[in-house]
A and B are shown apart, each in its own frame.
Chain A
């Protein structure tokens, strides 16, 4: 059993789906408020989707200075597994826990639809339930989803196997079709698609459930 903290920022709006997805996968999940300074002894942390602080200035730019983020930084530095979904991915990039940035979609439109992605890296705490190369259909829902980084960083991500998820039909102009990346230790992961919106056949697809069963299946002492 893995205890998972789901961080709520003002403007988060996917935290309940995320909490329930962890529970459905057999984990124990609880909320942590952005003003909290601890993570309640969690084994893993998820920053959920939404529009923290109204996306003011830049998506994730203000949330990264929330009190709870100091705890998330320390947790990540010790090798604790951290998953950022959508706005959570943006926050992790702004916080410097993941390389690159997420910019306005190339088509300018807010894009909300299922997309096909390939799991490129299954050796992370959030993808270990998938076979490498598995194609999953998971919804994206974002306006600022275009992954960008300088060419040297992109080359390093590719060479080090840190591209975790790649679009088959790039919906937003992301560099090298990147939908998700891992930090240099492989335990911090950010993805733009929302697996918590596709974790049960009642939601139309269960392809995303593996992100949450991975957390529960990963050995607790892995970090």
Chain B
């Protein structure tokens, strides 16, 4: 069956994220006070053919390690629907 897999790729904590900083400043300028530590990453949605949710997750993990995330600069989270 096909599982809907959501992958979130986020710049590693401690690394400068200039996009996050720019958005944080813009939010402040719009009057949204108290917004801190904005970080901007990517959301990737996949339909993954797998025997079960665990296998779908394992496949997505391998995809993250090889391509979807850069192990030097990014962390990722995987969520499998169903």
On A, residues with C-beta under 8 Å from B are 57-58, 61-62, 65, 93-94, 99-101, 103-108, 146, 148-150, 173
Q: Which of A62, A104, A106 has the most CB of B within 10 A?
A: A104
CB–CB A106/B18 < 8 A? yes
Measured CB to CB, the closest approach of chain A to B16, in angstroms, equals 6
Contact of B72 among A57, A62, A65, A100 (CB under 8 A): A100
In the bound complex, residues from chain A placing their C-beta under 8 Å from that of B55 are none
Q: Are B72 and A61 in contact (CB under 8 A)?
A: no
CB pair A58–B19 under 8 Å, yes or no, is: no
Cα(A93)–Cα(B73), bound, Å: 12
Known: A108-B22, A148-B72, A149-B72. A103 touches B67 (CB 8 A): no
8 CB < 8 A contacts A-B: A57-B67, A62-B67, A101-B72, A103-B15, A107-B18, A146-B16, A148-B72, A149-B72
B27 at the A/B interface (Cβ < 8 Å)? no
Pair A104/B67 contact, Cβ less than 8 Å: no
Among A65, A101, A105, A107, contact of B70 (Cβ-Cβ < 8 Å): A101
Would B18 and A104 count as touching, CB distance under 8 A?
A: yes
Q: Distance (Å) between the CB of A119 and the closest chain B CB?
A: 25
A105 touching B67, Cβ below 8 Å: no
CB neighbours of B70 from chain A (8 A): 58, 61, 94, 101
Q: Compute how far the CA of A12 lies from the CA of B37 in the bound complex, rounded to whole angstroms.
A: 36
- In the bound complex, what is the Cα–Cα distance between A11 and B29 (angstroms)? 37
Contact A108 B67 (CB under 8 A): no
Task: List the A residue with the shortest CB-CB distance to B15.
Answer: A148
Q: Which residues of B contact A101 (CB under 8 A)?
A: 70, 72-73
Q: How distant is the Cα of A148 from the Cα of B42 in the complex, in angstroms?
A: 19
Is B80 an interface residue, CB under 8 A from the partner?
no
CB-CB < 8 A to A62: which residues of B? 67
Residue on B with the closest CB to A105?
A: B18
Is B68 close to A, CB under 8 A?
A: yes
Instruction: Bits for B56-82, please: 1 = Cβ < 8 Å to A, else 0.
Output: 000000000001101011000000000
Residue in A103, A104, A149 with the greatest tally of chain B CB atoms within 10 Å:
A103
CA distance A25 to B32 in the complex (A): 57
Give bound CA distance, A87 to B38, whole Å: 28
Q: Is the CB of B67 within 8 A of A173?
A: no
**Which chain B residue shows the least CB distance to A149?**
B72
Alpha-carbon distance between A146 and B73 when the two chains are bound, in angstroms? 12
User: Per a CB cutoff under 8 Å, which of B19, B67, B68, B73 touches A148?
Assistant: B73
